[in-house]
Amino acid sequence: MDREELIKLIQNEVMTAAEVVEYLETTKQNLASLKKRGKLVPVKEYGLVKLYLRADVEKRKEDAVELNEKFRPYDKETGL
């Protein structure tokens, strides 16, 4: 794998905490809670910088949708 391929792979498959917050439509506080509870674990941490795998973030979003359907069925009924 050459340098350009590696850069493209990282850009496509790694997300910063800010990108995760935007993608999950959540808050920094909730992301910190997910991290603390082991629900979403960064693959690399350096100081305040945390990097997450896109696949892990997408899986968390899928899980959240399933949990919302299971435990908040009234949201679906009211259109929220």
Distance of CA 8 to the CA centre of its chain: 19
Place of tokens 């696949």: 55
Name the domain count of the chain: 1
- For residue 62, the cross-strand partners are none
Distance CA 9, CA 4 (A): 9
Higher local confidence (pLDDT), 57 or 74: 57
Indicate whether 5 belongs to any domain: no
Provide the whole-model pTM.
0.84
CATH number of residue 73's parent domain: 1.10.1660.10
Range of the domain at 63: 14-78
User: Average per-residue pLDDT in the chain?
Assistant: 92
Residue 65 reports pLDDT greater than 60:
yes
Residue-level pLDDT at 62: 95
- Rounded to whole angstroms, the Cα distance separating 67 from 10 reads 30
The pLDDT of residue 77 is above 90: no
